[in-house]
C-alpha cells in the first residue's frame, strides 16, 4: 500500500500555464463582478453574459497546456497513492497525467441541463442560449457558482482525513468550504504549502515553499521522491 498523498490545488497551479487566477493583481475578479458572471442571480439577470464568461474561459483552457507542476504531481504516483482535490475547473491535472482528480467547483469542459445537475455532457465549443438538453432545459456550464452547493465537499473530506502527507498548492484559501478542508487533516500529518506568496493558514507546522508552483514542485520532488 502506497502512502496517501492528498493535494489541494487552486488557480495558482495553472497560472504558469497562462490561465488567470482570481485574486492576484491581474486576476479575473479584477475585471468581472463575481455575482454577474458566477452566481444564480447573475444567470437569472443575464444568462448570455454568464455563458460568454465561461465560453471565453473554456477557449483559454483548451489553448493551455499542463505545466511541470501538474506533470510532477502525476509523477509522484510512482511512489504515492496521489489524490488531487482541485478548486480549478480546468482539465490540466488530467492532461498532466494525474489519475485521481476531484473537482470541487466543477469542470468547464462539461455541461448540464439547468433542470438536472447530475447528467453531464462533454463540451468543447461555446454553449449558446437556446441550446437545450434532452430534458428540454437550457445547457449551462457544469461549474459551481457562488451560492450553489459544493456537492463534492463530502467526498473531499473523506480523502483529506486519510492523508498520510498533505500538499497545498496555489490557493489563497479565500473560499469555503474548500478552504476548510485543511482543518480535517489528522494531527501530525506532514504538510507542505507551495505558493508564490504563502497565504495565511492556521497552524505553524507547515513546510513552506514560497515559490512559483513549477519551482516549488521541483523542490518538493527532492523531498518526497523515494
Ligand atoms: N505559483 C504558485 N502560486 C501562485 C502562482 C504561481 N505561479 N500565481 C498565483 N499563485 C497563488 C496566489 O498567491 C494565491 O495564493 O495562487 C493563489 C490564487 O488565489 P485565487 O486567485 O484566490 O484562486 P483560488 O484560491 O483558486 O480561488 C478559489 O475562488 O473564485 C473562486 O471558484 C473560484 O475556485 C476558485 C476559488
**Domains in the chain with CATH codes:** 1-19+67-105+151-226 (3.40.50.1220), 20-63+110-143 (3.30.1600.10)
The whole-angstrom distance between residue 156's C-alpha and the CA centroid of its chain comes to: 12
Which of the 8 DSSP states describes residue 147? T
Q: Is the distance from CB of 216 to CB of 194 less than 8 angstroms?
A: yes
pLDDT at 56: 97
pTM: 0.98
Measure Cα distances from 144 to 62, 68, 112 in Å: 20, 27, 12
10 Cα nearest atom in ligand 1:
26
70 is catalytic: no
In angstroms, what is the span from residue 140 Cα to ligand 1's centroid?
24
pLDDT at 226: 86
pLDDT at 167: 98
Q: Residues 70, 93, 103, 105: which is the catalytic one?
A: 105
29 Cα nearest atom in ligand 1:
30
In angstroms, what is the span from residue 200 Cα to ligand 1's centroid?
13
CA distance 223 to 217: 10
Return per-residue pLDDT of the chain as tens, 226 residues. Answer: 999 999 999 999 999 999 999 999 989 998 899 999 999 999 999 999 999 999 999 999 999 999 999 999 999 999 999 999 999 999 999 999 999 999 999 999 999 999 999 999 999 999 999 999 999 999 999 999 999 999 999 999 999 999 999 999 999 999 999 999 999 999 999 999 999 999 999 888 999 999 999 999 999 999 998 8
Q: How far apart are the first and last CA of the chain?
A: 14
pLDDT at 86: 99
C-alpha cell at 91: 482539465
Sheet arrangement for strand 106-113: 121-122, 106-113, 139-143
Amino acid at each position: 500500500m502506497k502512502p496517501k498523498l492528498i493535494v489541494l490545488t487552486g488557480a495558482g497551479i495553472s497560472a504558469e500555464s497562462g490561465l488567470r487566477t482570481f485574486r492576484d493583481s491581474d486576476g479575473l475578479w479584477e475585471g468581472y463582478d463575481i455575482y454577474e458572471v458566477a452566481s444564480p442571480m447573475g444567470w437569472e439577470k443575464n444568462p448570455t453574459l454568464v455563458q460568454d464568461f465561461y465560453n471565453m474561459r473554456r477557449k483559454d483552457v483548451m489553448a493551455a497546456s499542463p505545466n511541470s507542476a501538474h506533470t510532477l504531481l502525476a509523477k509522484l504516483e510512482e511512489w504515492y497513492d496521489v489524490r488531487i482535490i482541485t478548486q480549478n475547473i480546468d482539465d490540466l491535472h488530467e492532461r498532466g497525467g494525474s489519475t485521481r482528480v476531484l473537482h470541487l467547483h466543477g469542470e468547464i469542459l462539461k455541461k448540464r441541463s439547468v433542470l438536472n445537475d447530475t447528467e453531464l455532457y462533454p463540451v468543447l465549443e461555446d454553449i449558446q442560449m437556446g441550446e437545450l438538453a434532452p430534458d428540454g432545459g437550457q445547457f449551462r456550464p457544469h461549474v459551481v457558482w457562488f451560492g450553489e452547493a459544493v456537492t463534492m465537499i463530502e467526498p473531499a473530506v473523506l480523502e483529506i482525513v486519510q492523508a498520510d502527507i498533505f500538499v497545498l498548492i496555489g490557493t489563497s484559501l479565500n473560499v469555503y468550504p474548500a478552504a476548510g478542508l485543511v482543518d480535517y487533516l489528522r494531527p501530525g500529518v506532514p504538510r507542505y504549502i507551495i505558493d508564490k506568496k504563502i497565504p495565511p493558514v492556521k497552524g505553524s507546522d507547515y513546510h513552506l515553499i514560497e515559490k512559483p508552483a513549477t519551482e516549488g514542485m521541483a523542490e518538493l520532488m527532492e523531498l518526497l521522491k523515494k
